[in-house]
Structure 1
Amino acid sequence: MATRTRRSQRRTQALSRERIVEAAVELLDAAGESGLTFRALTERLATGPGAVYWHVANKDELLGAATEGVVAAALAADPTEPAGSPQDGIRAVALGLAGAIEEHPWLATQLAVQLSRNPWGTVTARIFESIGRQVRALGVPESSWFTATSALLHYILGAAGQNAVNAGVPGPGTDREEFLGAVSTAWKELDPDDYPFTRAVADQMREHDDREQFLAGIDFVLTGITTLHPPAGRPGTPPASRETGTP
């Protein structure tokens, strides 16, 4: 009995939490959240359920760990890249998260879950910290740090998640250019009295680039932040006016 216990402990120790999370990400990428079961996980890892439960208590914990691991990798700074402006830092965070959501389609839903159900967790804090440090570096007054950072966070995750959904809408084997062309044509055929604006931008929709549009949206948000909340203490800069929204 003692020998069997020692062998079981060695197998449990050899199977690390990191490997379990890595296998969970692989299952999520292949089949989504419904495909992540402890049975599928133990089959992939060629082990018993006890060895997995030794490291992870339940599926919620496993999903949280998978989300945290992917987000940490997406936000990892490249030490070879020179430091840029705070705006560049925010764009880098945004593109890192957008790339992770595109690569791991399940991530958008899990980030929404983490932000709503576990706002005190490390996933939310890691993203908020990454954006917030750049907001602070912009010179935004401290009283506006939370609001400005929240606005950027919600735009980045919302737009990145929607772009990931859009990427899969045409379906396998469907050309994106042809799909957008068909939508553009349909918009142009709408009633001109009911949809004058939509008809007017039909060609722009067909020719748009998701990445450029995503970054343009961030620039809109940043322009609004720095216009309404100019750097505190900047010589010759009066406080922003709440009534007019102008400095």
Structure 2
Amino acid sequence: MLSRERILDVAIGLLDTGGEGVLTVRALSERLSTGSGAIAYHVGKREDLLDAATEAVVTAALSAAPAPAAATPSDEVRAVALALFDAITAHRWLATRLTLQIVRNPVGPVTVGIFERIGRQVDALGVPRERWFDAASTLVHYILGAVSQNARIEGDTSGIDPVADRGEFFATTSTAWQELDPEHYPFMHAIVGQAAEHDDREQFLTGIAVILDGLTRLH
């Protein structure tokens, strides 16, 4: 039986396979063995479908974010951040859509849900009320910016290999950095080994830790 949930499930599968380019009403109709009218009835137009798919993935990710016993505000921020990080890693089209949701629909469930979940922890961290928006926005912007580096880039992708091997990329990059003049680029030479061996998730959490430490100093 055709339902909104079934439509979104198939749509997310198409997005995961090939990004926004493969998600058309025609392709979705063929997968579901139904007409475009039925899809429009349950979800709406293509843009509505993309927004609904984004909301479904983000809602599921935040709902699954662990809330450990005796969790501190910092623990909760890290849980939400990692939930979004993992969701965008699994659904590489999500970074672009999530950013668009926050910019285009500030009162939508995705934007409100993320800001509310993080904002409550900003309050619990003791950040002055007049700095809440800045503090929460800094966390949200960092999360989206950091995970977007590992996500599929929509738009102009000239010069970017969408299936490039991560290890090969950093090996090539490290080799190129080693060839730089160490007298003029001492820092780049110092981090060559770190760049080649770093863990994206741990690097992401380091950024969260730096921001949280800064927020505690806003008293």
**Length-normalised TM-score, structure 2:** 0.89
Structure 1 equivalent of residue 108 of structure 2: 121
Amino acid at match of 1:183: T
Percentage identity across paired residues of the two chains: 57
Contact preservation (8 Å) 2:93, 2:151: no
1:183 aligns with 2:170: no
Amino acid at match of 2:193: D
Structure 1 equivalent of residue 88 of structure 2: 101
Tell me how many residue pairs correspond in the alignment.
213
Amino acid at match of 2:81: A
- CA separation of 1:43 and 1:203: change in aligned 2, threshold 3 A: same
Unpaired segments of 5 or more residues in structure 1?
A: 1-13, 231-247
1:171 aligns with 2:163: yes
Contact preservation (8 Å) 1:152, 1:218: yes
| Pairs within 5 Å for 1:63-102 | 63-77=50-64, 81-102=68-89
Superposed CA deviations along residues 37-59 of structure 1, whole A, max 9, x for unmatched, are 11111111111112111112211
Moved over 6 A (4+): none
- CA separation of 1:82 and 1:161: change in aligned 2, threshold 3 A: same
What RMSD, in angstroms, separates the aligned Cα atoms of the two structures?
A: 2.1
* In 2: Cα distance, 1:108 partner to 1:70 partner: 11
| Pairs within 5 Å for 1:1-247 | 14-77=1-64, 81-164=68-151, 171=163, 174=165, 176-227=166-217, 229-230=218-219
Amino acid at match of 1:213: Q
Larger radius of gyration: 1
* In 2: Cα distance, 1:164 partner to 1:59 partner: 22
**CA apart distance, 1:80:** 7.6
**Length-normalised TM-score, structure 1:** 0.80
Unpaired segments of 5 or more residues in structure 2?
A: 154-159
**More relative contact order, 1 or 2 (CA 8 Å, 6+ apart):** 2
* In 2: Cα distance, 1:78 partner to 1:117 partner: 25
- CA separation of 1:213 and 1:165: change in aligned 2, threshold 3 A: farther
